[in-house]
Chain A
Amino acid sequence: MPEVFMPRLSDTMTEGAIAQWLKSEGDTVSRGDVLAEIETDKAVMDLEAYESGVLEKILVQPGENVAIGAAIAVIGDGSGSDAAGGSDAAGAAAAEPETARGASEADTGEEPPAARADESAEDLEPASRPEREAVTPADESTAPAASGSRIKATPLVRSLARSHGIDLGTVQGTGPGGRIVRADIERLLGDESARKPALAPAPSGAPTASEPQPVPASAAPVASAQADDERVPMSQIRKVTARRLTEAALVPVFQLTTVLDASRLTDVRRDINTRLADSGVKISVNDLIVRAVAVALAAHPEVNASFGGDAILRHKHVNVGVAVALEDGLVVPVVKDADRKSVSAIGAEIKDLAARARAGRLKLEEMTGGTFSVSNLGMFGIDSFTAVINPPEAAILAVGATVDEPVVVDGEVQVRPRTRLTLTVDHRVLDGATAAAFLRDLTALLTEPLRILV
C-alpha cells in the first residue's frame, strides 16, 4: 500500500530516472526526508518521502527510466509485508496504488456494471417525484444520453492516456456503459505488448501559451539505423529538447537581421570592468545585451507577449531567458524581472544560473516563466545565425560575434567592432513592422549603452 511513485515534477515530464538513492533498503525514513534524486526532462530534483516508515524495497535502480506514477519504492512498517508482490513492479509501468489488484483481477467475470448503473438510473429518473429515502443519485442520473461515437473515459484515464501515449480508441472500457476506467488502463499497462508507444497524439497545431500540446519529436522524420551507426541513447534533457524544438517548428516565423555598431558597448564594458575591478564586478557583453533587451521589452509590451490561442497574452513581467548549452542538450534559465535589475545583478544571476544548469541543479521555477529569450553564439566566432523560437514566447534574439569590420562613417572607411543581431519572431503575435521597431530601438540602446545603465 504505501508505495512511492514517480512524481510529476514538471509540466512536460512524462517519465523520470532515478539519479541516485539517498536512502537504502531497511533505512528508517521520516516524512520530508529526501529519498532519492530524480532526473527529469529538465533537471535533477529531490524526491521527498510523503510518509514515515521503513524503506522496505527499492523497485527502480539508479539510471532506470520509468513513467510518472510507476511505483519506485515501498515504505512500510518494517515488517516487509507491504513489499510483497511489488518486487517486479519496476518494469511494469504501474500507475496507481491498486495496480496489482486492478491489473490481475479486474476481469473476474462479475456482473457487468452497466446493468447496475441502469437500475440506479431508473430509480432516480423522475424528477417530479420527491425522493422518499435518503438520496443517493446514481452518477448517470442527470447525464444526457451519450452519442455513439464519443469515447467514454474518466478524467483520470484521459490524463493517464496522455502521459503514457495510449490511444483510448484501442481500449476496451469495462465501467458503466463501456466507460474506460483506471482499472482498464492498468490492465493494459501491465501487458507491455498491448502498449502502443507509436500512438502518441498527432500534432494538433502549433503550441500556445494556454494549452501546450505535446508533439512527439518523432512527428518530424526520423532516421533508420545503419549497421555501423553508433547508437547514443538520448538523455531526458536531449529528449525534451528534441520535443520542444519540434513543437517550435510548427510556429510560423520570420527573421529580421541588423548590424550593431558595438564600439560604445565594448568601451562601456571595458570601462566598467577596469574601474570596478576592485569591487569584483565583471560583466560581459551578453549581460549588457540581456539588460538592453529587458529595457526594450518594457518599452514594447507588444513584443513581451505570447500566442494564447484566441488572444495575444501580454505579460506584466519582463523575464528574459538565456540559452545555456549543456553537454547533451539545451536549457533556458530565466532572469526574472530583468528590466528592474542592474547589469551587474543580471550578470551575477546569469553566471549562477548557467553554472547550476551545467550541474543539472536548476529548479523548475528557474526555467519557466520566460517571456523572451536570448541566444548567443558569439563566443564560438559565429558571425550570424537564426535561433529557433522558444514557445510560447513571441520572439528570440540571436547574437553573433563582435567582429572588427571596415565600415563607411561620414564618407570615410573606418574599422569598427560590429555585432549581428537576428530576431526570430512568431508571426501570429507580431508583424514585421512591429518587430522591426523593437529591433531598431534595441539596437539604439546598445549603440548608446549608457541609456541602459541609468
Chain B
Amino acid sequence: MTAMADNAQNEITYRQALHDALREEMTRDENVILLGEEIGIFEGSYKITAGMLAEFGPERVRDTPIAEEGFVGAAIGAAMLGMRPVVEIMTINFSLIAIDQIVNHAAKIYGMFGGQTPVPMVIRTPGGGGQQLAATHSQNLEVWYAHIPGLKVLAPSTPADAKAMLTAAIRDDDPVLLLENLSLYNTKGPVPEGDHVAEFGRAKVTVPGTDVTVVGYSRSAAIAKDVAHRMAAQGVSIEVVDLCSLRPLDRETICRSVMKTGRAVVLEDDWLTYGIGAEIAATIQEGAFDYLDAPVRRVAAAEVPLPYAKSLEKIALPDADALIRVINEQLDATRFAR
C-alpha cells in the first residue's frame, strides 16, 4: 500500500462501504461465507450483498430459512470448525429469536471449553427507528449485547468506519456484532482506499472542542457532529466523541475529553433507563469527577414502544433539536457566556 493509494478518497455510501468490505474479505479469504435471509437471490433487504451470489456462488452465499436461531447456530458451528461466517440479521429486533445462540453459545464457547476453539463470526444487523416500521421493528437493543462479556459490539457512524470496522470484525477471532443503522445506509462520506482495519475498543474525537463533550455512537454520533458544526456558529465549541466500539468501551478517551471541557451530554438512540448513556455517565463520574462543572446529561428515546404515526414517531426519537436544547440548558446551568 503506497502513501498515494492511502490518500486517495472516494465519496461512497455507508451501504457501499459495507458491501466493499464484504466483497474484499470474501475475495481475500475463502473461509469467509455469508448467511442470512434473502441475501442471495434477492441481494439483501438493504442490498449490502448485491452481486455476491453471482460472484461467489451458492456455497459461500447462503440464503437461509426465516429461522434466526437456526442460521445463527449454524454460523457458530461453522466458525468453530474454521470458517468465518458473516451473518446478516435483517434487523436487530429479529436477533431476539437468536439471542440464546448469541449470548449463551457464541459468547461463551471459547471460555467455557477452555479455549479449544474460538468463534470467529460476525453478526451484521441494523437497528434504529424513524422509518415508520413501528414498535417491534424500530428498537435499539445494542446495549443488550454490549452488556455481554465474550461479545464485541461495534457501531460505526461513517462509511469509512463502517468499512474498517466490518473488516476488523471479520478478521477478529471473537464473535462480533456490527450495529448498522437504517438511517445511515444512504449517507455518504470519504473512504480511503487500501486495507484499513479498525481497532477494537477505540473511540474517536470526531470534532475537537473545548466547551462541551457530546458522546454518541452510530446515528447519534452523526447527529452530534452536525450539531457541533451548527453550534460553532453560535460560539459554542463542542467536542464530539464517537464511541465506535460499545464493547470494549474506550473509557479513557471519554474521560480525557471531559477533563478538557468540564461538561458532558450523551446522545443515545436507545431508551434512557439502563441505556448506553447510563454507562457513559457512570464512566465520567468515576474517571473525571473532579473536572465536572455540571451533572452529565443524557438525551435518549422516549420511554414508550415507538409509535407508528409519523408525527408521534418523530417526537419520540432523540434528534438534533433535543440535543441542542439540552446542551444549552447545561451551558446556562454553568453560566456559560457566549
- Residue positions of A touching B, CB distance < 8 A: 1, 96-98, 101-102, 105-108, 110, 113, 116-117, 120, 130-140, 154-159, 174-176, 179, 181-184
Task: Decide yes or no whether B297 CB sits under 8 A from chain A.
Answer: yes
B293 touches A134 (CB 8 A): no
B329 touches A116 (CB 8 A): yes
A134 touches B315 (CB 8 A): yes
A181 touches B337 (CB 8 A): no
Task: Decide yes or no whether B59 CB sits under 8 A from chain A.
Answer: no
B318 touches A134 (CB 8 A): yes
Which chain A residue shows the least CB distance to B337? A105
Which chain A residue shows the least CB distance to B265? A136
Task: Decide yes or no whether B289 CB sits under 8 A from chain A.
Answer: yes
Which chain A residue shows the least CB distance to B305? A130
Known A159-B291, A182-B262; contact A113-B335, beta-carbon cutoff 8 A: yes
Per-residue 0/1 for B102-125: is the Cβ within 8 Å of any A Cβ (1 yes, 0 no)?
A: 000000000000000000000000
A102 touches B337 (CB 8 A): yes
B297 touches A139 (CB 8 A): yes
The interface-forming segment of B150-158, B241-249, B319-327 is B319-327
Q: A134-B318, A135-B299 are in contact. List 20 more A-B contacts (CB 8 A).
A: A102-B335, A105-B337, A107-B335, A113-B332, A130-B302, A131-B272, A132-B316, A133-B315, A134-B316, A134-B319, A135-B318, A137-B297, A137-B298, A154-B294, A155-B290, A156-B290, A156-B291, A156-B292, A175-B335, A176-B333
A1 touches B302 (CB 8 A): no
User: Smallest distance from the beta carbon of A137 to chain B beta carbons, Å?
Assistant: 7
Between A and B, 12 residue pairs with Cβ closer than 8 Å are A102-B337, A107-B335, A116-B332, A117-B333, A130-B303, A132-B304, A134-B302, A134-B319, A136-B299, A154-B294, A179-B333, A182-B334
Q: How far is the CA of A155 from the CA of B333 in the complex (A)?
A: 14
Which chain B residue shows the least CB distance to A183? B335
A155 touches B292 (CB 8 A): yes
Which chain A residue shows the least CB distance to B291? A156
Known A116-B329, A135-B300, A137-B298; contact A155-B291, beta-carbon cutoff 8 A: yes
Enumerate chain B residues within 8 angstroms of A133, measured Cβ to Cβ: 302, 315-316
Enumerate chain A residues within 8 angstroms of B253, measured Cβ to Cβ: none
Most buried by A among B237, B293, B301, B317: B293
Enumerate chain A residues within 8 angstroms of B301, measured Cβ to Cβ: 134-135
B333 touches A139 (CB 8 A): yes
B334 touches A136 (CB 8 A): no
Which of the residues A108, A113, A159 comes within 8 Å of B290, measured between beta carbons? A159
Interface size class of B (residues with CB under 8 A): 35 or more
Q: How far is the CA of A158 from the CA of B326 in the complex (A)?
A: 24
Enumerate chain B residues within 8 angstroms of A102, measured Cβ to Cβ: 335-337
B335 touches A174 (CB 8 A): yes
A134 touches B317 (CB 8 A): yes
Task: Decide yes or no whether B28 CB sits under 8 A from chain A.
Answer: no
Q: How far is the CA of A98 from the CA of B210 in the complex (A)?
A: 9
Q: How far is the CA of A102 from the CA of B335 in the complex (A)?
A: 8
Task: Decide yes or no whether B73 CB sits under 8 A from chain A.
Answer: no
Which chain B residue shows the least CB distance to A176? B333
Known A133-B302, A139-B294, A139-B333; contact A155-B315, beta-carbon cutoff 8 A: no
A131 touches B302 (CB 8 A): yes
B322 touches A136 (CB 8 A): yes
Q: How far is the CA of A30 from the CA of B214 in the complex (A)?
A: 27
Which chain B residue shows the least CB distance to A102? B337
Enumerate chain B residues within 8 angstroms of A184, measured Cβ to Cβ: 335
Known A130-B303, A155-B291; contact A136-B326, beta-carbon cutoff 8 A: yes
Enumerate chain A residues within 8 angstroms of B336, measured Cβ to Cβ: 98, 101-102, 183
Per-residue 0/1 for B250-283: is the Cβ within 8 Å of any A Cβ (1 yes, 0 no)?
A: 0000000000101000000001100000000000
Which chain A residue shows the least CB distance to B338? A101
Known A120-B329, A136-B298, A154-B293; contact A183-B262, beta-carbon cutoff 8 A: no
Task: Decide yes or no whether B211 CB sits under 8 A from chain A.
Answer: yes
User: Smallest distance from the beta carbon of B328 to chain A beta carbons, Å?
Assistant: 10
Task: Decide yes or no whether B295 CB sits under 8 A from chain A.
Answer: yes
Q: How far is the CA of A130 from the CA of B307 in the complex (A)?
A: 13
Which chain B residue shows the least CB distance to A132? B302
Q: How far is the CA of A157 from the CA of B335 in the complex (A)?
A: 13
Q: How far is the CA of A130 from the CA of B300 in the complex (A)?
A: 13
B300 touches A154 (CB 8 A): no
Enumerate chain A residues within 8 angstroms of B272, measured Cβ to Cβ: 131, 135, 137
Known A135-B272, A156-B291; contact A183-B302, beta-carbon cutoff 8 A: no
CB interface residues, B 16-54, toward A, < 8 Å: none
B298 touches A181 (CB 8 A): no
B322 touches A181 (CB 8 A): no
Q: How far is the CA of A341 from the CA of B333 in the complex (A)?
A: 56
Enumerate chain B residues within 8 angstroms of A140, measured Cβ to Cβ: 295
B299 touches A181 (CB 8 A): no
Q: How far is the CA of A130 from the CA of B301 in the complex (A)?
A: 11
Enumerate chain B residues within 8 angstroms of A183, measured Cβ to Cβ: 334-337
Q: How far is the CA of A106 from the CA of B334 in the complex (A)?
A: 9
Enumerate chain A residues within 8 angstroms of B300, measured Cβ to Cβ: 134-136
Q: How far is the CA of A68 from the CA of B291 in the complex (A)?
A: 14
B295 touches A135 (CB 8 A): no
Which chain B residue shows the least CB distance to A103? B337
Enumerate chain B residues within 8 angstroms of A137, measured Cβ to Cβ: 272, 297-298
Enumerate chain A residues within 8 angstroms of B335, measured Cβ to Cβ: 102, 106-107, 113, 174-175, 181, 183-184
